Each structure stands twice: as C-alpha cells, then as structure tokens.
Amino acid sequence: MSWANEGWRNLRRVFRLPLTRKRIDQEVDDELRFHLEGRIEELMEREQLTRAAAEREARKRFGDFDAYRREARDIDDRTMRYRSRIELLDTLTREIRHSAHVLLRTPAFSLITFITLAIGIGATTAIYTVVDEVVLRPLPYRNADRIVSVMHPATVPGSGESKWGLSQAGYLYFKEQNHSFEDLGAYMTGTMTILSDQGAEQVRRGQVTASLFTTLQARAALGRLITPQDDQPNGPPIVVLSYEYWQRHFGGARTVVGTMLQTSGVPRQIIGVAEPGLSLPRPGAFSSKSDLAGFGVDVWTPMQLNPNDRPVNSHQYAAIGRLEPGVTPEAAQRDLSALMRDFPSKFPTAYTDKFISQFNFRVSVLPMRDEVLGPTLAKALWVLFGAVAIVLFIACANVANLFLVRMEARRRESAIRTALGADRAHMAIHFLSESLLLTVAAALAGIVVARIGLGAILAIAPVDIARLSTVRLNGMSALFALTLALVAGVVFGLIPLARTAVDVRTLREGGRGMTASSGQRAVRNGLVVGQVALALVLLAAAGLMLRSFANLRNVKSGLNPAGVVVFETSLPFSDFKTREQISIFQQEFQRRVAALPGVQRVGATNSLPLQDYANGCTSVFREGRPYEAKQEPPCVATEWALPGFYESLGIQVRGRTPAWSDVDPTGKSRGTAVVTKALADRLWPNEEPIGMGINAGGGGGLQTVVGVIPELRGHGLDQPPSEAVIVTALSGYTVWTVKTASGDPSTLVPGVRRILAEMNPRVPVVNARTMGDVVARSTSRASFIMTLLALAGSMALLLSALGIYGVISYLVTQRRSEIGVRVALGARLPQVAALILGQSMRLTVFGVVIGLVAAVLGMRVLGSLLFEVSPTDPAVLIGTAVTLVLIAAVASLAPTRRAARIDPVEAMRGA
C-alpha cells in the first residue's frame, strides 16, 4: 500500500487528488489539449504551417482523440475509486493507531471510561439476556402464540382471589361447544412409581387427554402419542415415555415400544416416545409455581375421562387451548363465559347459581405465556432491566462528562486541525475512531462482565423463575452489547464535533481561552443533576425492595425450620392395599427414623407449608351448625398430618397435638383435627373451637378439633395467615418432617434409605432438602429482585459519586485563579470550602429534588412487587435523599481540600 500512498501524497502536495468524475474529465482534457496545443505550435514554428494545417497534422498524428480520451478517463476513474478506498482504510488504521496512542497517553481518563462503560454495558447486557430469555422468548411449542390457558378465576370468601382449573364436566362441555379453539386439552400432573431391576423409582407423570397433544402440536419421536382411541373410559393401560426418560433409562433403545412398563400400579404398555423437550407449560391447575421451560414430565398416560361421570364441583384439570387463527383470547373468553351460563342447568350436581355468584366464579382465557409468567415476574424483570438501563445512563453521563472535559483540553488540537483544512468528515473520523475504539473495547469487556454477572445472577436466582436456569449469553447478547457500544461511541464521538466550528477562535485567544463556555458548563451540570436524579430513583427502588424483604422476613411463618430436614416417600398401591397396612408401615418407619442418631422429632404431612401449600381448597362444615341457606361453606386448605408433624416443625398448637392413638385406620371412630386460628375465628367467632366437630371434605367423617394453631402462613410469607384444617390421617404419599441436630440432609438420608431397604425396597425417597431451603425459596423471588436492585442501586450511587467528584474537581481546576484571588483578598479556608461544597450541594440538591419527584411519580410501577410498604414510603425516600447528599459531600471533599490548598501567588501567576 505504501507505494500508492507515496504517489498520492506527492500528487496532493501540488494539487489535490481529483476526487470527482468531473475533475478527472477536466484533467484528462487539459492534458490532451496541452499535447495537441504543443504539437500545433511546434508544427507552425518548425514547418511554417498555417494554424489550420498544423492542427490537422497534429490531430492526424494523435489518432482517435475521443477514443484515447475515453480510455484515459476510464483508467483514472478506476484509479480514483481504488485510491479513495485505500485512503479510507489508511485513514482509519492511522486514526485508530493514533487514537490508541492518544488514549494510552491519558491512562486515567481511558481507564475510568473503559471500566465505567464495561460495567454499565455488562450489567445491562446480562439483564437484557435474562429478560430476552425469560420474557421475550416464545414458549417451546409450535405456533406458541395461539396457545392459551383456560382457567376459572374465583374469589374465595375470606381468602381472596384464586385460580382454579376446569372441572371434568366443564372441560368436556367447553371442548364440545366452543367456537374459538382448534383444540382444547386437559391434564393433571402427579407421580408414578416405576419398578425395575434397579428398584423403585418415582417419576413425574403427566395424565393428559389425547387432545392435549394435538393442541400442543406435539409429535412422537418413536411409535405414537396417545390417540382418542387410547383416551376412552376404561381404555387400555398404556404409557408414552418422554424422550429424556427414554434416553436415560432405556438408552434410546427402539425396541422399547410395545414392551410393558412395570409400575407400582398396573403394568402399562409403552406405545411411543414423545419428541425431545416436550413438557407441560405449568405443573398443574393449582400450582403457583410456573416455569417457562415447562414442567418436565417423564411419562405420559391417558386421562380416560368418562363423560357419563356424575358432574362434581372439583376443579383439578389444567386446560390448554389452541385458538383458531384470528380469534383473540378475549373473544374466546367471551365465548366460554357464555357457555358457562349453562353450567347450573346442565350440571346441577356441580354448579349452582349461588355458588357462581358467591365465589364470583368466572372463566379466563389468557395467552399461556402470560399465565406462566404470572403478573409479577415479567414486571419484575422489566423493572430490573429499567434499573440497569438507568445504571448505564448514569455511566454514560459520566463518560460524556469526561469527554466534555477532555474536549476542552483538546480544543487547541481540534482548532489547529480545522485551521489546517481538516474538513468536518475528517474531524468526525478522528473523534469517532477515538470514542468508538474506547466503547467497542468496553463492550468486549462488557460481554465478559455480562458473563460473570449472569453467573452471579443464576447463583442467587430463585429456582421457580421460568427458564432462568437455561439462560446463557448468546449472539443476541453480544449484538446488544455492541449496539450499545456503537450508539454510545457515536454520541460521545460527536460531542466534540458539535463545537469545532467555533473553535478556530481558540487559536486567536492564544491558549488562554481554556475556560468553558457557559453552554458547556450547563451541559455538564445538567448531566450531574440528571445523574443524581436517576441514582435517587434507583436507590429509592432498591430501598423499597429492601424494606419489603425485611417486612417479609419479619413475618412470623408460625413454624421453625431450624434443623428440619424434609423428604418424600410414596407407598406403592400394590403393596399397600389397606389403610391398616399403611398405618403399620408409617408408624414403624417413623419409629425407626426417630431412632436414627441426631434425630429429635419425626412428623409427616401430605402438604408442606410454604411450598405449594394446599392445592386448591375444600368446603368445610361445622358439626351441628349448618350454614344459612344463602351462605356457601368456606372453602379452605385441608391437609393431613401424622402425629409429630407439629412438634418437628415447631408449630405452636394451643390445646393438644394429635397422637397415634388419634389415628384409626379403620376409619370407624371419630378422628381429630387441628385448625388454624384464622379458620376458627371464621367458623366459631368468639367461641372456644377446641372440642368442636368439623367435617372437612363433605363426606360423612367428622373430626374433633383438639388444637388451634395461633399463626401459620402456609401459603406464603406475603399471604395472610392460612385458614386451614389439618386432619390427623394417613396417606400413601407423605412428606416427612424430621427435626435433627445437624439439619443436614446428607447425614440423614443414607440412614433413611437403609431403613426403607429393610422395610420395603419398593418405596422411593425423593426430594430431600432442608426446611430452611423451602422457606428461603418461598421468598426467593423477593430476595432476588431486591439483591439485583440493591446491586444496581449501589452501582448508581458509586457512579454518581464519581460523576460529582469529576465535575467538582474540574470546577476547582477551572476556578483556580478566582480562588487564588479570593484567598489573596483574605478569604479563609471555610469560605473557600463553602464555595466549592456549595456548588456541589446545589447540583446535588437540584438532582435530588428532581429525583424525588420522579420517584414519587414512578414508584407506582413497583406496586405489586412490594410487601407492606408504600411505593412512596417517606422513610425510604428521605433516607435515600440524605444518603445521596452525604455521598455527594464526601465526593466533593477531595476537590475542596485541593481548592483550600491553592497558593494564591502561584494560582494567579499561572492564570
């Protein structure tokens, strides 16, 4: 390339390189005409020809003038284009090299800018990746945008809004009569125990209608999926394996289709293997847990609903619909709402008008994605994204300020360049290459930061956040980071350019014109004010989340998780046909576990508080006190517990706690139950509930209330105290609660396994974990959001402090001579300090005021994310404001000290 440059520069030294086609044409013309003219004169002189004759002769010797001219022009045109390409490339490499050089000459500036931007871009990219993956990505089904969730919202008297699944009758009616869906499917989830040579294994089971597969447009990887023929009442016992389970347990053997799968119940014939990754969108109708990655299912079995079953008011079927093209969820909801009006007349055994009005029983059709994400998660993630975007803004404000300061320091350079004829395009390249070099480098570092940040986010992330565990940095993230960098780079690069036009004056000012114009000062101050305001908003948000979390932590759950290990067992039906068998087994198992070293108490239940507590509700009745005619029975959580449950979990019980003597496997004698105070207050206000009779579940059995739990928040720490009745009873599926000295599942579980191996090797132990873990998980969303907001808030605080420090430092440098004069005139240290601090405080307070206004207006967004704290909590807002002012004061201390140390003589001489 060097030869080309050499030639080109030589040329340009005399005349500029012809850069337009017109100029090329002109030059070729000039050159050829010179030739002809020279010849003509020569001929006229030497051969004494007339001008006309000489011209003729010259043209004859020249040949085809136009052809040669055209040829020369084309060559030059080509050359020009080639050389301007080279020039651009050359300019770029030169500028980049120059920029790198310049940046390295001011390492402090470069490093601060680089780090600030890298962190800002990295944090934003990390959260963007999460939002992209969790909120923006479609569900993992074909044409997922038309998949909707059909549910029954209801207002349970006394315990608020809840959402139920469909009833069997309701589902079948909707499926038959609707005009909105291509297909409608239903499912339940549960477990199944599979028996093999390796022993008993509990797997996740999806019980589905055949239409569920068509609704999801699912395909089989092998064999076939469940068809309507399989899905008949009393249809064949069949099973479809999930691809993953097939791989895991059968090593992907294709011969598995047609063979029998041994379970703790009936053996089932394997008819096929589902496609890889096929999962259910939600764990079931009642679960609050949702996961965009879906609920993984190991085996699929047919629901085999019987349309002739007596309709009952039991809403356990999760339903998924696929909308007809062009039908909106709202229209489908109207369609189903109209159908629902027939329920009382069609299914009088399940629905009454009274029930529908009293429970405000409705039907909802929501895009599945919204249902899965829930109302708060998407919002929470967007809030986080907003938070990091604010951090990025603050970072950019800092960088913009640095660039402004630097630009002033380099005004002479740009002025000289302009004076020497560098055009604006050239200046733009010059400044852009510098800023882009910096921002793109920062973006690359930012991607690394995002990787680390994402790892940290995943480490503290709640397990129940959809798809979060699968989030990885991807091409989109990198693109996002680079886009941020390019935009930032162009903006920063153009800042100085906006000023070059007037800068030539700088030269005349002989270098004295180094004070900033008032306009620049305003921009810089504006940036600081904006920064402080944004930081305040962010800190206030973090503060509110912190208070929410503290409130949540202070809530008395009513149980003591310390040292408690929980795990689940389920007894195979084939071995435990009678309640007596179950009773004997459970009692013996409990006795043996209690005898393990370190174990203090052992209890059991079918539903653990704070974890999917009380799926749905059951109507309860009082002994001897029927409800008034217009009153629906309260629908409350009805759980089972074995003796030892309350003691092991440290649940306070007034009255007495049940003992094994309360358990009658024959079910003949009257059982016992414990109720929560919240329920007792509703059923027997102002009366002693102990000794009362209660019937939970509508059947014949009555239980005597033997104890009252003063407080238990089983549904979640952010929920009101649970209304629940806990019946002393047995069940095959059991969550064991073991109070131990160590609280370490890994020391307990081997002993438990040994016991089970001796008692019945077909009983699996699953899900061993600490109760502390269960409690922490129930607040993990709140703590996750809080942690990230606090992180963003502290970054904002730090960056704003840096910004204030930078601007005040610069101010001190600028007003050096003025301060010198003041000191010379007798100003004392406190006055000088007041001058500088005053300036800093003015900016900060201004920013704080704007930030407070913005916070009061904007914090409503947090609304549902907060727990028992007002979005405009004065303590948080005032605390944040004071913090910011203090930090600003600290940030201005060093520059103030510098100002106070200014030697007047030196300062004035220097000026």
Partner 1 sequence: MAASDLDLVRGTLDLLILKTLSWGPMHGLAVVRWIEQTTHEQLQIEEGALYPALHRMEEKGWLDAEWGYTERNRKAKFYRLSTRGRKQLASELSRWSRYTSVVGLVIAARGAGAR
What minimum distance in Å lies between the beta carbon of 91 and partner 1?
19
d(CA 892, CA 486): 32
Taking the least distance from each CB to partner 1, the nearer of 46 and 668 is 46
Binding flag, residue 137, partner 1 (CB under 8 A):
no
Helix boundaries (H) for 697-824? 745-759, 771-778, 780-814, 816-824
Taking the least distance from each CB to partner 1, the nearer of 64 and 509 is 64
Part in contact with partner 1 (CB under 8 A); list of ranges 77-85, 374-382, 413-421, 620-628: 77-85
What minimum distance in Å lies between the beta carbon of 472 and partner 1?
51
Binding flag, residue 76, partner 1 (CB under 8 A):
yes
Part in contact with partner 1 (CB under 8 A); list of ranges 68-76, 294-302, 351-359, 573-581: 68-76
Part in contact with partner 1 (CB under 8 A); list of ranges 12-20, 310-318, 581-589, 865-873: 12-20
Q: Which candidate, 145, 154, 148, places its Cα nearest to that of 174? A: 148
What minimum distance in Å lies between the beta carbon of 18 and partner 1?
10
What minimum distance in Å lies between the beta carbon of 79 and partner 1?
4
For residue 836, what are its two tokens?
């500088």
Binding flag, residue 32, partner 1 (CB under 8 A):
yes
Part in contact with partner 1 (CB under 8 A); list of ranges 11-19, 682-690, 772-780, 823-831: 11-19
For residue 180, what are its two tokens?
């909105």
Q: Which candidate, 580, 782, 599, 778, places its Cα nearest to that of 664? A: 580
Write the burial class of residue 144 (CB in 10 Å: 0-12 exposed, 13-18 middle, 19+ buried): middle
Part in contact with partner 1 (CB under 8 A); list of ranges 63-71, 269-277, 441-449, 459-467: 63-71
Amino acid code (one letter) for 106: T
Binding flag, residue 14, partner 1 (CB under 8 A):
yes
For residue 39, what are its two tokens?
């010849």
Select from 10, 234, 669, 686 the one that contacts partner 1 (CB under 8 A): 10
Binding flag, residue 64, partner 1 (CB under 8 A):
yes
Q: Are 564 and 770 in contact (CB under 8 A)?
A: yes
Select from 29, 71, 145, 588 the one that contacts partner 1 (CB under 8 A): 71
Amino acid code (one letter) for 546: L
Select from 46, 63, 326, 508 the one that contacts partner 1 (CB under 8 A): 63
d(CA 238, CA 229): 11
d(CA 363, CA 171): 11
Select from 38, 138, 236, 258 the one that contacts partner 1 (CB under 8 A): 38
Binding flag, residue 68, partner 1 (CB under 8 A):
yes
C-alpha of 177 from chain center: 39
Residue found under tokens 């009616």? 173
Q: Are 116 and 802 in contact (CB under 8 A)?
A: yes
- By residue count, the chain amounts to 911
Binding flag, residue 20, partner 1 (CB under 8 A):
no
Question: Which H/E stretch holds residue 901?
Answer: none
d(CA 262, CA 300): 14
Pairing of strands 564-570, 733-740: antiparallel
Q: Which candidate, 860, 749, 822, 810, places its Cα nearest to that of 401? A: 810
Binding flag, residue 198, partner 1 (CB under 8 A):
no
Binding flag, residue 3, partner 1 (CB under 8 A):
yes
Select from 49, 65, 358, 845 the one that contacts partner 1 (CB under 8 A): 65
Number of residues in contact with partner 1, rule: CB under 8 A? 34
Binding flag, residue 723, partner 1 (CB under 8 A):
no
Select from 19, 26, 29, 30 the one that contacts partner 1 (CB under 8 A): 30
**Helix, strand, coil proportions of the chain in percent (round to 5)?**
55, 15, 30
Binding flag, residue 627, partner 1 (CB under 8 A):
no
Q: What are the two backbone dihedrals, phi and then psi, of residue 718, each rounded to the nearest 5 degrees?
A: -90, 5
Select from 19, 45, 50, 61 the one that contacts partner 1 (CB under 8 A): 61
Part in contact with partner 1 (CB under 8 A); list of ranges 22-30, 286-294, 476-484, 730-738: 22-30
What minimum distance in Å lies between the beta carbon of 41 and partner 1?
9
Select from 34, 142, 259, 687 the one that contacts partner 1 (CB under 8 A): 34
Taking the least distance from each CB to partner 1, the nearer of 39 and 762 is 39
d(CA 902, CA 895): 11
What distance, in Å, lies between the first and last C-alpha atoms of the chain?
48
Binding flag, residue 62, partner 1 (CB under 8 A):
yes
Binding flag, residue 573, partner 1 (CB under 8 A):
no
CA distance to 149, 236, 313, 351, 758, per residue, from 341 (Å): 20, 35, 15, 10, 56
Select from 44, 79, 560, 598 the one that contacts partner 1 (CB under 8 A): 79
What minimum distance in Å lies between the beta carbon of 61 and partner 1?
5
Per the DSSP assignment, residues forming a β-bridge with 740 are 599
What minimum distance in Å lies between the beta carbon of 15 and partner 1?
5
Select from 23, 25, 35, 106 the one that contacts partner 1 (CB under 8 A): 35
Packed helices 780-814 and 771-778: angle between N→C axes, nearest 10 degrees: 60
532 CB-near residues (< 8 Å, 6+ apart): 800, 804, 843, 844, 846, 847, 848, 850, 851, 884, 888
What minimum distance in Å lies between the beta carbon of 51 and partner 1?
17
The per-residue DSSP string of 214-235 comes to HHHT--EEEE----TTTSSTT-
Residue found under tokens 């995002």? 450
What minimum distance in Å lies between the beta carbon of 80 and partner 1?
10
Taking the least distance from each CB to partner 1, the nearer of 22 and 577 is 22
Taking the least distance from each CB to partner 1, the nearer of 31 and 744 is 31
Taking the least distance from each CB to partner 1, the nearer of 65 and 243 is 65
Show contacts with partner 1 in window 371-400 (CB under 8 A).
Answer: none
Binding flag, residue 4, partner 1 (CB under 8 A):
yes
Binding flag, residue 425, partner 1 (CB under 8 A):
no
Taking the least distance from each CB to partner 1, the nearer of 34 and 573 is 34
| CB neighbours of residue 711 within 10 Å | 16
For residue 704, what are its two tokens?
């005597």
Part in contact with partner 1 (CB under 8 A); list of ranges 35-43, 112-120, 648-656, 882-890: 35-43
Taking the least distance from each CB to partner 1, the nearer of 11 and 260 is 11
For residue 451, what are its two tokens?
């990787």
What minimum distance in Å lies between the beta carbon of 39 and partner 1?
7
**Can you say whether the dihedral through the CA atoms of 572, 573, 575, 578 is positive or negative?**
positive
Taking the least distance from each CB to partner 1, the nearer of 45 and 903 is 45
Taking the least distance from each CB to partner 1, the nearer of 3 and 475 is 3
For residue 372, what are its two tokens?
């899965």
Amino acid code (one letter) for 183: D
Part in contact with partner 1 (CB under 8 A); list of ranges 25-33, 767-775, 856-864, 892-900: 25-33
For residue 721, what are its two tokens?
């105290």
d(CA 376, CA 161): 15
Select from 23, 25, 39, 579 the one that contacts partner 1 (CB under 8 A): 39
What minimum distance in Å lies between the beta carbon of 36 and partner 1?
9
CA distance to 137, 317, 470, 483, 812, per residue, from 476 (Å): 12, 38, 15, 10, 44
Taking the least distance from each CB to partner 1, the nearer of 10 and 518 is 10
Q: Are 737 and 679 in contact (CB under 8 A)?
A: no
Q: Which candidate, 79, 835, 814, places its Cα nearest to that of 513? A: 814
| CB neighbours of residue 37 within 10 Å | 12
What minimum distance in Å lies between the beta carbon of 35 and partner 1?
5
Part in contact with partner 1 (CB under 8 A); list of ranges 29-37, 508-516, 632-640, 816-824: 29-37
Residues lying near partner 1 in the complex (CB under 8 A) are found at: 3-4, 6-7, 10-11, 13-15, 27-28, 30-32, 34-35, 37-39, 61-65, 67-69, 71-72, 75-76, 78-79, 82
